[in-house]
Amino acid sequence: MARTPVIDTGGQVLNPVRSENLHLARWAADSGRGYYTQYVTVTMHTESDANLGVSILAGSDVAPERVRKAAATVKHLLLRAARSSTLLQRLAHAGARLLIAKDRGSWQQHPEVSRDFTTGLGGGAPWFPSTGIEAGEPASTLAEELFHTIQYTALRPREVCMYHRAYAHAMSTGLYTTDGSASEVDGEPVPTVQADEYMAQALHRWFGSNAAAQEYLVPGNGAAAPEGTATRWVAEGLRTGREQLRRLDPQAFCLLAEVFRSDDTWNPEPNKLPWRVTPNRGMAIAEVDTFCQPLLTKLAVGCPPPEVKWLSPPSNGRR
């Protein structure tokens, strides 16, 4: 599917087919095949006053409040929680977009999906820039799938090398096992490797989720500490997943602190557990940076220098 035009909707959900922007209306009728009736964007303005951003798209079978909630989550993650506007800029340059399906069985109604995928769409990449979630999935799942897209479109070779090394360390120490996805055939258009899934689970802890507790042994918000350490954890007041991530897996913690603000207090589902009882707490960025600097320096040894970029796809479109 062709790149989706991005216009600033001011947070309003619009029908792109009826848009006054002729470029967007043509895209919706042609590439979008008239399927997408809901369109909203998360944008930023550059010095040239051009809109850069990502679009959120859904058909008429998705409740509008679900689209608005997803847009609010994306806006927070990319404009407020992100450490730098570079994150949104890189996603925008890659043509990243978020597609919302009614449920897993409705993906083939979307214009660019012509086959069944075992687990849906998941994260995107430059060669398939669509991130896909189901309307009923929680905000923490949206954060995970968007993070997979960040891994493939926004992180540089140095950063990917560093989290692969952190993954190897977590495996060797028994903190992480596997998500079992090796058995999936055609699970998603953009398959993830275990190092990607490891960092996604660390992201869940960063935002407090207790998802996949047997896969990743760092507790989330309000969860029990590892056996034999409960008294110490309670005594030190380490109750949030972010705090426990810093203690148990500081490599993953520091890698995430390079992408997201440690002082962010966003709760994916504030009225649900664990956030209703144990909300997230911010951590001072300057203190976190001081803690992380030597650890990240060591983790980067042997990885590409910061200025190295991924090769761009050939101009003729061949892969």
What pLDDT is attached to residue 252? Answer: 98
What pLDDT is attached to residue 184? Answer: 61
What pLDDT is attached to residue 156? Answer: 96
Q: What is the distance between the alpha carbons of residues 141 and 215, in angstroms, rounded to a whole number? A: 16
Q: What is the distance between the alpha carbons of residues 242 and 273, in angstroms, rounded to a whole number? A: 16
Q: What is the distance between the alpha carbons of residues 310 and 282, in angstroms, rounded to a whole number? A: 33
Domain boundaries, the chain: 16-153, 157-299
pLDDT < 70 positions in the chain:
47-50, 181-185, 224-238, 313-319
Q: What is the distance between the alpha carbons of residues 83 and 85, in angstroms, rounded to a whole number? A: 7
What pLDDT is attached to residue 232? Answer: 46
What pLDDT is attached to residue 192? Answer: 87
pTM metric for this prediction? 0.91
Cβ-based neighbours of 223, under 8 Å, separated by 6 or more: 210, 213, 241, 244, 274
Quickly name the fold that domain 16-153 has: Glutaredoxin (3.40.30)
